[in-house]
Structure 1
Amino acid sequence: MEAAMKVVVLAGGVSAEREISLASGKAVRETLRNAGHEADIVDPGSGWKVVEPHEVPLEANRTSCGLPGGEGTGLLTAADIVFNTLHGGQGEDGTVNAVLELLGVPYVGGKPAACAAAMDKATSKMLFSQAGVPTPDYILLDGWNRGLWTDSLAEAAGRFGLPLVVKPAEEGSTVGLTKVESDDQLFPAAEEAARFSRRVVVEKFIAGRELTVGVVADEALPVLEVIVPGGLYDFEAKYRSHDNKYICPAEIDPEVAEEAQKFALLAFDLLGLLDYSRIDFRLDDRGGLWCLEANNQPGMTSSSLLPKAAAVSGLELPGLLEKIIASALSRY
C-alpha cells in the first residue's frame, strides 16, 4: 500500500447499526493513522461531514443524510480511497457505493449490485441454494398483510417445525431477529422484524455450533467458532455480552473446516463480493454445514470476528487493512 495515503472512512450513517459502525470506523481510522496515513471519518448521518465518533449523537440527523453536498463531495473526491465501514441500511446495501461510483471515487468493497444481493437475505439464500451451498429452508413475507402473514407463519411452523428464526430480510447484526419457540410468538416476531425491513425471512432454526469464515482478497481465513452462553448469537450477545468465547481455529474436523472455507469462497464469488467479507454458518449435530448469510462489510472493532480470525492467520489489524486496501486499489 502506498505511503501517506488520504483515506476517508465512512462511518455512522442512519441505520439501526449506527453505534457499531462508529466503533468500526474509529478502529479503522486510528489504525491507519498509526500506520502514517491521513485518515478521517465522514458520517453520512451528520451531513457527510468529518466527525469525531465520541462527539456525534448516536441518533443520526435524518434530515441531513441525503446525497453528499459540496463539502461532502469534496472530501470524497479528494481521497485516494474510501473505506466504507457503514453497517446496515443504505450504507451496506450498495446505495452508498453507487454514490461513490457516480463520483468516480476508488473504494473498498463490492459493487452496488453485489452489496444489494448480500444484504438481501432472501436473494442470498436463493443464490446459495441454486449453487449447492446448503442454507436453511425458509419462506419470505413480502409486503405487510396481517391475514396473509398469519397464514404464512402458520404454514412455516407446520412445514419446518419450531423453533423458527424470524428476521428482517435487509438488515444486519441480527437487528430485529427473534428465535420463535411457540406459536404465540410468531406474529409478534414478524411485526418486530417488519420494523426494520419491508420483507421478512422466516427460517428453519438449525441447532448446533456457530461458525464463521472470513474472506480477504479471495483467501479464506481460519474457521472461527463463537460459543454463546445463551445459545443465540443475537445483537445483545454480539455487542453487549462479555461471556462469549471465541475459538480460532475452530475445534472441528479438518474436513469440515475445509468444506466451510470452500462454501465461504463460493458464497463470496456467487454474490460478486470484493476485497473482504465474512460468511456465517451453523454446524448441526450430524456434522452438516448450513450457510446463514454473508456480511459484505463486517465489523472492524477489537471484538469483531473478522479481525480475530485474521490475527490467527498472522494478520493483525494494520496488516489486515493494508491487504484489504491493496486488493481494492488493484482495480483502479
Structure 2
Amino acid sequence: MKESDYPKIVILYGGISNERAVSLMSGKRVYHELKLNFDVELVDIDKPEIARTHFTDNSIAFPLMHGEFGEDGKAQKILEAMGIHYVGSDVESSAICMNKILTKQKVAVHGVRLTPSIAFTLDNKPDAKTVTGQLGNDVVLKPVCGGSTLDVSLLSGEKEISDALEILAPGYWMIEKRIFGPEVSIGVLNGKSMGVVGINPEGGFHDYARKYTPGLTKHELPANLSADVLKEIQHMTEVAFAACGCRDFGRVDMMVEDGKTPYFLELNTIPGMTPTSIYPDSGKCMGYDSDELCRQIVMPAMQRFKSKLLTV
C-alpha cells in the first residue's frame, strides 16, 4: 500500500477503568509516533460506548484503553458491530486474556508451565490454612481481572494471608504460589517474541508506582539469563500467544525461579506504551525504535482493511 492509501488511524484511549491514567499516557505516545507516517486522530473514551461518528469508510481503530472496556473485548465487540477494523486481538481472545484463570486454562493445554493457584469469590474464599497447605507460606494475592499491578499483595505466613482475606473487597480473586527469582516481560509482535526484558524494581516489588514513576525500575535489555533460558521463555511466550488466539501485539509476563525455570503469569493484549513501559524496550532488543515499532503494530490491521476493500 502507498502512504496515501493507508486509512486514517483513530486511537481510542483513556477509558473507564482504574488504568485510565496509564492509557492516556500510552495513547499520547503512540499518537506522536504514528503521526510521523500516518493520518492519526486521538479520541478520549470516558464512557462505555464508542460513537460511529469517530470513523469514516477510510479509517481503522487502535484501542489503547487498558483494563475494563479495553482489554475485555467489549470495545472490540462494538467496533465489529459497526464494521470497523481495529488493531489488536479480537473479542474472544481479549475476553480470555482479561481473565487470568481462563488464560491459564488455555495455555496449560499446550504445556506452558504455570504457577499453582486458587481462584475464589468472597462466597467461597479459602482459609489461610488451606492456602498454605496447597501453595506454601509465600503467596501473591491479586484480582483475576485487572492489570498494572493494582490491588496485588505479597503475603507470607498464615496470619498475613488470613488478615488479607478478612478485609478483601467483593470480586473475583486468585492466590498464586510466589515464585522467587527474576521477573521478565516479553513483547510479542505479530506472533513472534521480541526481546526478554528483565525487571529490577527499587525495593523488589514491581507495583503501580514503580511501573510508572521514572527511575524506580531498571530494565535489562535483554534479561541477564542464560541463552537456553531466554530461548525457552520466548518459546513459551509464542505458544501462549497462539493458544489464546491473540493477534498483532501483546506482552507476556513471567517469573523465572532461581533464574532457571520460567513460569507463565499472564498475557496482556494491550500492553502499556508509556515512556516507562516494558513493551517498547522489548522492541529495542530487536532493533525497533518507537516509531517503527508502532508502525509494525498497526500494519496487520491495515492489511485486514485492504482485504475488506478487495472483497467489496
Using the size of structure 2 for normalisation, the TM-score is 0.91
Structure 1 counterpart of 2:254, from 263, 275, 281: 281
Within a 5 Å distance, the mapping from 1:241-252 to structure 2 comes to 242-252=215-225
What do you get for the CA RMSD once the two structures are aligned? 1.9
Equivalents in 1 of 2:285, 2:126: separation in Å? 46
Work out whether 1:223 is the aligned partner of 2:224: no
Contact 1:10–1:41, Cα closer than 8 Å, also in 2: yes
Q: Percent identity?
A: 30
Equivalents in 1 of 2:167, 2:39: separation in Å? 41
* Equivalent position of 1:58 in the other structure: none
SS at match of 1:186: helix
* Equivalent position of 1:129 in the other structure: 108
Letter in 2 for 1:226: I
Within a 5 Å distance, the mapping from 1:35-184 to structure 2 comes to 35-45=36-46, 65-68=47-50, 72-78=51-57, 80-142=59-121, 144-145=122-123, 148-151=124-127, 153-184=128-159
Letter in 2 for 1:66: P
Unmatched 5+ stretches in structure 1: 46-64
* Offset, 1:88: 0.5
Within a 5 Å distance, the mapping from 1:183-262 to structure 2 comes to 183-187=158-162, 189-190=164-165, 194=169, 198-240=171-213, 242-262=215-235
* Equivalent position of 2:9 in the other structure: 7
Letter in 1 for 2:11: V
CA distances 1:81-102 after superposition (whole Å, capped 9, x unpaired): 1111110112111110111110
Equivalents in 2 of 1:20, 1:177: separation in Å? 17
Letter in 1 for 2:252: I
Equivalents in 1 of 2:217, 2:92: separation in Å? 34
Equivalents in 2 of 1:77, 1:327: separation in Å? 19
Structure 2 counterpart of 1:314, from 264, 277, 287: 287
Equivalents in 2 of 1:74, 1:228: separation in Å? 43
Letter in 1 for 2:143: P
Equivalents in 1 of 2:71, 2:163: separation in Å? 27
Q: 1:159 to 1:235 in 2, by over 3 A?
A: same
Contact 1:166–1:190, Cα closer than 8 Å, also in 2: no
SS at match of 2:89: coil
Unmatched 5+ stretches in structure 2: 306-312
* Offset, 1:79: 5.4
Letter in 2 for 1:173: S
Equivalents in 2 of 1:190, 1:233: separation in Å? 22
* Offset, 1:318: 0.9
Aligned residues: 303
* Offset, 1:19: 0.1
CA distances 1:225-283 after superposition (whole Å, capped 9, x unpaired): 01123222121221136232111122211111111000000000001110001111111
Letter in 2 for 1:95: K
